[in-house]
Amino acid sequence: MERVVFDRLLEHCKEAGLVAAGGKQRTDSTHVISGVRDLNRLELAGESVRAALEALAVAAPSWLAGHINVTEFAERYGPRVDGWRMPPSQTKRDRLAQVFGQDAFALCRAAWADDAPAWIREIEAVGLLRHVLVQTYIVRIDARGRQVIKKRDADDGVPPGQLRLASPYDSDARWAAKGDDLFWMGYKIHLTETCTILPDAYAYADAGTRVMPNLITDVHTTDATVPDVKATAPIQRKLAEHGVKPGEHYLDSGYPSADLITKALKQGIRMVTPVLLDHSAQARAAEGFDKNAFTINWKTRQVRCPAGRTSSHRNPRKQYGKDAIVITFSVLSRRNCPFQQQCTTSETGRRMLTPRPEELHENLARARAEQKPDTWKNKYALRAGVEGTINQALDITGIRRARYRGLPKVRLQHAFSATALNVIRLDAHWTTGPLDRPPHQQARTTQLPTLRLNELRSRVGPGEVRGERLAEVLGGAVGGTPLGGGLRGEPDGSPSVTSGARVPPVSWRGHGDGAPCPCRWQCRAGRRGSGRWPVRSGGGLGERVVPTALSCLPVVLRRTGGLARRAHVRLSRSEHLIDGAV
């Protein structure tokens, strides 16, 4: 139902011949952040109680008042449960977590009592409170026979990520991680688009070649815990249902498996994707005999090793939830084997093979062999274009953040986002071409700083404007004049003026006026005691000091927010204003 507009536009594109089955398509995914705030376990427990109380206060105020202490609960759950308002010590936090658990148990006992109205248990917030209570707490009986509520830990059993609620206000959002640096709560979106044309296709349009735009053919949204491999079959099924089934489907390594490759081939879809290589010890070390060195006779159900000996046992079984075959060799066949060191590293000398069923094994072996040549890598490079589609969706439609709560509404948002992208691409196709880019708007700049800099260079002489010669020419009479943007280090270590900085009004004092050298006598002017340095009066650097001697500028800028690297000095912010004599 959420895809009505998207499907209708895709149907019109099919009728217009802009998209058809049998072409090339590519798919990729990105994370979506939920529209609710992140909660830790303690905040989740407290907010779940608070959400249930708010819902019951509206739906059954009289019933709620008869089962809780209104004054106490209003004081505890009136403001939102936030980590900033919680006690700092861990002991007090544990005590607060126990209080949240006791209140949640008391509320659930009252809601599931025999005399409680049945419709109270159907309130969503009450059901979510029970869910959070089960996943966060556990009830134990102590030595005195009393019920003790404690937080769950790994020893008590913690529900898996796909079943663990992350917020009482969005029951579909889940916590997930990708790599070492991405951890988010929310959803995941998969975008599929056509990729028949190449970047230079419009160069041949005038020669009579019809060029079709790259259009999004499917948008698939799941919670954050669903891996990419679980989305492959639903995506291909929806593409087939809408009559846009691809002939070649380009995906990254997170989408394929031997089962999916086989099922896709039966549907007429060839998956162009890197598959995991053989992970046996022999294959990883590139030494000895891996699975490919053994010859499997599927009719006789026997395996022949490189030494010419055949297997003795073949046992079908489930391995990691998938069909597999365990093949072993007899003890007699392993005796006095000349290739035992290349065959196995086991102390018992036993080699065991676990190939998949024949069809899966052959398809997986073929896929591994195809991805080795460089020609396949050049072909697979076509998949990279979907990254640009992800960025376009992020920049234009803002799919990174969910605007609504709940998976159905988030799917609606993503369907409209995909529709908007297709409309934009169709407009570009019919007007300018999908690869055209609007010209960047030029910033309003003035040429006066460059003119002033050239004039200063002419006064100093040919070459770069640098060193104390510039200070002699400028003196102190150029305060407030726009010069340029900063300083650039020269090969001899002395910085030179570049365009873009603004010169502030300064007051001049010498080293002998009681003010110490800002670089602590590390500059030439400081050591001589003859240099002058300006003091900025108000704003920007405040009372920080910038010397006139260029040799000490890197030392001072390191203390005043500038950047000194490889004797190159530049100003990182426009507020850092340097006098023209520097």
The predicted-structure confidence for 273-292, as pLDDT tens digits, reads as follows 998 776 666 666 666 676 77
Q: Which sequence spans correspond to the domains of the chain?
A: 4-33+176-275+381-431, 41-163, 288-370, 448-570
Backbone angles phi, psi at 189, to 5 degrees: -120, 140
Burial class (CB in 10 A: 0-12, 13-18, 19+), 201: middle
Q: Is the pLDDT of residue 129 over 80?
A: yes
The predicted-structure confidence for 229-256, as pLDDT tens digits, reads as follows 999 999 999 999 999 999 999 999 999 9
Q: Is the pLDDT of residue 37 over 90?
A: yes
Among 351-365, 458-472, 489-503, the range with the most confident prediction by mean pLDDT is: 351-365
Q: Is the pLDDT of residue 191 over 70?
A: yes
Q: Is the pLDDT of residue 400 over 90?
A: yes
Q: Tell me the mean pLDDT in the region 351-371.
A: 81
pLDDT at position 501, please? 38
The predicted-structure confidence for 472-485, as pLDDT tens digits, reads as follows 444 443 333 333 33
Q: CA-CA distance, 214 to 25, in Å (whole number)?
A: 9
Q: Tell me the mean pLDDT in the region 121-126.
A: 95
Here the tokens at position 239 are 């593409």
Residue corresponding to tokens 């953040």: 401
Output the pTM of the full model: 0.70
Backbone angles phi, psi at 191, to 5 degrees: -110, 135
SS3 sequence of 217-256:
EEEEEEECCCCCHHHHHHHHHHHHHCCCCCCEEECCCCCC
Q: Is the pLDDT of residue 99 over 70?
A: yes
Tell me the HSE value of 468 on the side-chain side, using a 13 A CA sphere. 10
Helix (H) or strand (E) holding 363: helix 358-370
Residue type, 582: V
Helix (H) or strand (E) holding 327: strand 322-328
pLDDT at position 496, please? 39
Q: Is the pLDDT of residue 349 over 90?
A: no
Architecture of domain 4-33+176-275+381-431: 2-Layer Sandwich (3.30)
